[in-house]
Structure 1
Amino acid sequence: MIINKKEFSGGLALLAAFFIVLAVMFQPIFDGKNAMAYLDAMYNSISKGSVNYVAPLRDEVKDPAVKKDLTLKLTYTTGVQAEQSAKLFEKAGVKVSLNGKALEVTGSVVDILNASLDDAELMYHNDAEALEGKYGVEARRTTFNWWTSLGLMEKALNGQEEFKVAKVTSTVMKKAVETAYNYYEIEPLDITDELGLVIFSLIFYVVYTLWYGFAILFVFEGWGLNLGH
């Protein structure tokens, strides 16, 4: 039995309006996307815009402790990946010897890390064409090969007790190469470029959630359902 028709009707009106707005939000009216997809893409772009670490990592690579010529033995899971990765080191200007699934790399660690940062920056800016022209391999595969190679380098460097160099190598792998791979094809965006929409979306989320909550509350209270003990 409805004990408060005014409150019950108000709750139903709020619910109806809530679902009308929800239906509009699901329409592809925001650059061909619905509201959720559009905001998801925007926040992904803002996220990418906040994680371009290439420039500060170039400074970190300049650390005198990293400026060493070393010989590293790297073993890959397949001969194909070893062969593709050999091209990365050759382009970096170091000596490479390929033997099946294994590479022996001799040369400047700084040159290798700077080469990986150059390619990570191309990938970060979605310049797949430049990477593919450079190595003749699909851009994501090249970036994955860098990620694998730097991981193997870190392991080899730790084995030689070159802990400082290993740490910088790991940082480049995670903050530059891995980030560029994960955000590929997403356009970077500074939050200040969409600050108004960001603020509106956050406020709207809170208001819209409360809107639904109060609508349900008014319907139940108007219906005579109350919580008690």
Structure 2
Amino acid sequence: MIHNKKEFNLGIALLVLFFIVLFAMFQPLFDGHNAMAYLDNLYNSISKGSAHYVDALKEEAKTLAGYNVKVTMNMEDEAQAADSVALITAAGGTASAQGKALTINGDYVAILNACLNDADKLYNNDSAALKAKYPALAGKDDRQAVYNWYKILGGFDKELKKQEAFAQAKVAFNVNSKVVETAYNYYKVVPEQIKNKIGIVIFSLVFYVIYTMWYGFAILFVFEGWGLKISGH
């Protein structure tokens, strides 16, 4: 038996409206995406837009001006070592591959800047420019050049520490973690500044709170209208 019909009906009405809105949220009404996918893309775009450190890392690299790097590192396989030679020579250095071993010699800042420029192209989703620059990678993954840079910088970090060139190793680590990984992981995501989407961001957060409370009150009204009470006895 319904204890309070008015309150029960209000709860049912709120539940019905809740599920109507939920159904609408799963329809492709937002640029061909449902609300969940749209907001996921939006927050990925905002996250990417707030993670552009190329200029800052170029300034950091300048502190190492005049340093000539000479290291030998192991790549994942022979193909990667051979392909990576082109990256270093395009940066003005010299490199040779023997099996998986890659030997690099050259101006460290010039090599870091070349890496930063390539990563910036991928950050801006311009993989075509990278494939045009490195024809040997044309048939491979769009992100292959930047992935090769990731392995090279990891090698710099490891080998330069062995040479006690800790400042140089730190910059390689920073470029990798702040620029190369960002460009690789966010590939094809369009960067967006939060200030350009602040209205949607605020609305989505406020709506989330209200929508959650909406469901909670609907259940509360249904149970109370039904006559169910929470008792401490």
Taking structure 2 as the reference length, the TM-score comes to 0.95
Aligned to 2:132: 133
Matched with 1:165 is: 168
What is the CA-CA distance between 1:143 and the residue it aligns to? Answer: 1.1
What pairs up with 1:59-208 in 2 under 5 angstroms?
Answer: 59-64=59-64, 67-136=66-135, 137=137, 138-208=141-211
Aligned to 1:25: 25
Which amino acid counterpart does residue 5 of structure 1 have in structure 2?
A: K
The one-letter code sitting in structure 2 at the alignment partner of 1:34 is N
Give, as a single letter, the amino acid of the residue that structure 2 aligns with 1:165: Q
Q: Secondary structure at the match of 1:139?
A: coil
Give the distance between the partners of 2:114 and 2:142, measured in 1 at CA. Answer: 15
SS of residue paired to 1:97? strand
Residue 38 of structure 2 corresponds to residue 38 of structure 1: yes
Trace 1:213-224 onto structure 2 (pairs within 5 A). 213-224=216-227
Cα shift readout 1:183-222 (whole Å, capped 9, x = no counterpart): 1001111111111111111111110000001001111111
Q: Distance in 1 between matches of 2:17 and 2:94?
A: 68
2:54 is the alignment partner of 1:54: yes
How far apart are residue 129 of structure 1 and its match?
A: 0.5
In structure 1, the residue corresponding to 2:36 is in which secondary structure? helix
Quick one: which amino acid aligns to residue 164 of structure 1?
A
Q: Secondary structure at the match of 2:96?
A: strand
Task: Note the C-alpha offset of 1:145.
Answer: 0.7
- The separation in 2 between residues aligned to 1:82 and 1:97, in whole angstroms, is 8
CA distance in 1 between counterparts of 2:176 and 2:66 reads 17
Report how far residue 228 of structure 1 moved.
2.1
Instruction: Give per-residue Cα distances to partners, 1:69-116, cap 9 Å, x unaligned.
Output: 121011112100101111111111111121111111111111111010
Aligned pairs, number? 228
Structure 1: tracts of 5 or more residues without a match: none
> Whole-Å Cα distance in 2 between the matches of residues 70 and 143 of structure 1?
20
